[in-house]
Amino acid sequence: MGGESSSIGALVPTVKSELGCNDNAAAGQREQEQEQEQQQPEAMAVEEEVAMTDRDMLCPICMQLIKDAFLTSCGHSFCYMCIVTHLQNKSDCPCCSHFLTPNHLYPNFLLNKLLMKASACQMAKTATPAEQLHKALQQGYEVSVKELDSLLSLLAEKKRTLKQQEAETNMQIMLDFLHCLRNQKLGELNELQTDLQYIKEDINSVERRRIELYRSRDRYLTNVRMLGDDPHAKLSWPSLIEKRGGGVLPCFPGPQSQCHMGSSTSHNWKADEKTPSGSQIIQIKDANSDLDSQQLTQSGLVVARKKRVHAQFNDLQDCYMQRRRSSTRQSQKKDERDRREGYSTGLEDFQTVLSTFTRYSRLRVVAELRHGDLFHSANIVSSIEFDRDDELFATAGVSRRIKVFEFSSVVNEPADVPCPIAEMSTRSKLSCLSWNKYTKNHIASSDYEGIVTVWDVTTHQSVMEYEEHEKRAWSVDFSRTEPSMLVSGSDDCKVKIWCTNQEASVLNIDMKANICSVKYNPGSGIHIVVGSADHHIHYYDLRNTSQPVHIFGGHRKAVSYVKFLSNSELASASTDSTLRLWDVKENIPLRTFKGHTNEKNFVGLAVNSEYIACGSETNEVFVYHKAISKPAAWHKFGSDVQDADEDAGSYFISAVCWKSDSPTMLTANSQGTIKVLLLAE
């Protein structure tokens, strides 16, 4: 035994006592199973017999249970309506083709009785008890009054029970709904209380900050008063005033403060202090009046900015809460302690948004440039771009010419028509321009024949020409981090990467739809974004172009432009009359901008760190703050002077461009008019 036990491994133990106790039960179960197996063939035979009987009761014409059975002279039974309808067309039996007329039909009373019984049996199997009772009463089943009373009492009790159950069910549903509603409202209340706590903290923070500013101003005024009361300081004032041409020093309110004019000696100073001259009094009055007018102007500006806040209050509220909640979550994760006490990062961010958004309310025309035939369609400016230093800007369009202007000449000499400092002619209409941000005199263009050209503005000659695109090239862009690299997109559904040191493309991306716009990420030489006619934005890593890093969807029509505000913020324009802002790091949509009209044309898109500008098919320029979905300012071309052309409504804005991180922008329309616009209060 010992040897056997050592030759096998450990076994899972079994409960043998239970098996012994259940031997009798298992034997009885086996006997029942055997009986069921014996009964199954018998039951199946009965079912088959019933099925055969049911098939015999089917009408050979309609294959349904016979209704109003009639027997033919040849011995077949049919539904009365089926056989009569058949005999209207033919004179034979459907079963045996024996000659048959309506006179050879006879009622089959026996089969009708059997059919009624079969119908009753079938109803008994399938009908509900209520249907069976209803059928029995209809068939004249005899019931005594006592049985009816008992039946009615049962029905009444059943009705009362059903009503109670239904009421309980309704109450349960109502209770569940109210619980869900309470939980939802409690969540909203908690969120509202949290928001109110944020607002309360921020109000206290802003009040403390404002008090600090007031105290700083008071300290400054106190120092000035002390300087005015110091006799040694007074002696030095006259020479200072003389150097300023006898001007008046500002005077500040005080218990015994006075405004004094300067003189060459302390004796004259004392005399003047006692008896100021008439001219001095006039100068003092003029200074005070200027100060009052400045205060009135400042007060008016504050009122105007407050009106802008109330006009866009809902969007500003959403922006504040979004930034405040986000900063709170980040501070909880990072446990920020280095920031000012009570002054959150979210509040600082929103203060920046509020100040920049309310600062401007309109676009003011600084200069206007008209060139070419004003009423010729070939004057459409498709692209307008500043160079690296914002000293030059270039225009291109369907006129087949690239014109380079000096920005200062256009702004400072508005009376004369500025002449371009450089001009390059092309074989085809131009669609897009892109300045090289490192090599100042290099600019790239794309045209309607699919040719991508790099030009030297100094020599007015082309440096490189790339002719691999098979159809019209809509967009071209130089990389900011790799100055020798550029990207282009075309109607041939191809995105091509070029290098100015090579004659052929270095990379090709095949897509399924036309390419409307391409752009390098300003902080990366390996990431590009593609706006496509498939209504989507494709974000690619050039190290793996087999599939995009992410596809942004939301536009309902073709994406006509894509531009980066920063390394992570991307703006897009579409012919669905919307602009959209995306986060390419988190791969999420941020905001949708509406207000302009764009359904078929390329109307331009320009961005800086805070604002997004675009054109409209109403011949207007719209400017949006990136945190607010409605326009912050707009300007209509032709609004300053009467346009004599009756077809002025057909013009549209065709190109826009910001001067780097400034409130100045260039914009052009399909009439060939170029305007320098400035955001103003």
β-pairing, 569-574 vs 559-564, is antiparallel
Looking at residue 175, its pLDDT comes to 94
454, containing H or E segment:
strand 452-456
User: Which long-range contacts link 60-68 to residues 24+ away (Cβ below 8 Å)?
Assistant: 60/94, 60/95, 61/86, 61/94, 65/115, 65/118, 65/119, 66/111, 66/115, 67/115, 68/112
Residue 265 is assigned to a structural domain of this protein: no
Contacts of 48 (CB under 8 A, 6+ apart): none
Q: Which of 190-194, 351-355, 561-565, 626-630 has the lowest mean pLDDT?
A: 351-355
Same domain for 317 and 436, yes or no, is no
Please name the residue ranges forming H helices in 256-312.
Answer: 266-274, 278-311
Same domain for 389 and 444, yes or no, is yes
Residue 615 is assigned to a structural domain of this protein: yes
Q: Which two tokens stand for residue 111?
A: 């089969």
Give the mean pLDDT of the chain. Answer: 80
Q: What is the mean pLDDT of residues 110-126?
A: 77
Q: What does the alpha-carbon distance between residue 453 and residue 447 come to, in Å, rounded to a whole number?
A: 9
Residue 574 is assigned to a structural domain of this protein: yes
Rg (CA), the chain: 46
Whether pLDDT at 221 is above 70: yes
Residue-wise pLDDT tens digits, 400-413: 999 999 998 888 87
Residue 672, number of CB atoms within 10 A of its CB: 25
Same domain for 318 and 380, yes or no, is no
Q: What is the mean pLDDT of residues 564-588?
A: 94
β-pairing, 515-520 vs 452-456, is unpaired
Residue 634 is assigned to a structural domain of this protein: yes
Q: What is the mean pLDDT of residues 424-450?
A: 93
Looking at residue 67, its pLDDT comes to 86
Residue type at 62?
C
Q: What does the alpha-carbon distance between residue 436 and residue 69 come to, in Å, rounded to a whole number?
A: 97
Same domain for 577 and 508, yes or no, is yes
Whether pLDDT at 39 is above 90: no
Looking at residue 492, its pLDDT comes to 94
Contacts of 493 (CB under 8 A, 6+ apart): 510, 511, 512, 513, 514, 515
Looking at residue 51, its pLDDT comes to 55
Same domain for 352 and 447, yes or no, is no
Residue-wise pLDDT tens digits, 142-175: 778 888 888 888 889 989 999 999 999 999 999 9
Domain residues for 187? 174-209+309-328+343-358
Whether pLDDT at 640 is above 80: no
Residue 24 is assigned to a structural domain of this protein: no
Closest C-alpha among 649, 659, 651 to residue 613: 659
Task: Write out the DSSP string of 50-88.
Answer: HHHHHHHTB-TTT-SB-SSEEEETTS-EEEHHHHHHHHH
* Separation in Å, CA 128 to CA 16, 137, 154, 155: 50, 14, 16, 15
Give percent of the chain above pLDDT 70. 76
User: Which long-range contacts link 203-206 to residues 24+ away (Cβ below 8 Å)?
Assistant: 204/342, 205/342, 205/343, 205/344, 205/347, 206/347
Looking at residue 356, its pLDDT comes to 83
Looking at residue 237, its pLDDT comes to 47
Q: Sheet containing 611-615: give its strands across.
A: 605-607, 611-615, 620-625, 631-636
Same domain for 449 and 594, yes or no, is yes
Contacts of 581 (CB under 8 A, 6+ apart): 565, 569, 570, 571, 589, 590, 591, 592, 593, 612, 626
Looking at residue 22, its pLDDT comes to 47
- In the block, residue with structure tokens 């300012």: 633
Looking at residue 293, its pLDDT comes to 54
Regarding predicted confidence, which is higher, 265 or 666?
Answer: 666
- In the block, residue with structure tokens 């009423």: 375
Residue-wise pLDDT tens digits, 587-606: 999 999 999 999 999 999 99
CA 348 to chain centre: 25
Residue type at 265?
T
Residue 282 is assigned to a structural domain of this protein: no
* Separation in Å, CA 612 to CA 292, 362, 402, 545, 608: 37, 14, 25, 29, 7
Whether pLDDT at 287 is above 50: no
Q: What is the mean pLDDT of residues 553-569?
A: 94
Same domain for 634 and 615, yes or no, is yes
Q: Which of 273-277, 390-394, 544-548 has the lowest mean pLDDT?
A: 273-277
Last residue of a domain, one of 131, 152, 185: 131
Same domain for 350 and 368, yes or no, is no
Q: What does the alpha-carbon distance between residue 325 and residue 337 come to, in Å, rounded to a whole number?
A: 17
Instruction: Compute the residue count for the chain.
Output: 681
Whether pLDDT at 34 is above 90: no
Same domain for 534 and 558, yes or no, is yes
Q: What does the alpha-carbon distance between residue 263 and residue 270 come to, in Å, rounded to a whole number?
A: 9
Q: What does the alpha-carbon distance between residue 369 and residue 410 come to, in Å, rounded to a whole number?
A: 7
CA 174 to chain centre: 37
Q: What is the CATH number of the domain that holds 383?
A: 2.130.10.10
Whether pLDDT at 261 is above 60: no
Residue 479 is assigned to a structural domain of this protein: yes
Looking at residue 405, its pLDDT comes to 92
How does 163-177 read in b/e, with b if 16+ C-beta sit within 10 Å? eeeeeeeeeeeeeee
Same domain for 562 and 487, yes or no, is yes
Same domain for 583 and 497, yes or no, is yes
Looking at residue 478, its pLDDT comes to 96
Residue-wise pLDDT tens digits, 325-382: 888 877 766 654 444 455 678 888 888 888 888 888 889 999 888 765 544 456 889 9
Q: What is the CATH number of the domain that holds 120?
A: 3.30.40.10
Number of domains in the chain: 3
Residue 98 is assigned to a structural domain of this protein: yes
Same domain for 628 and 530, yes or no, is yes
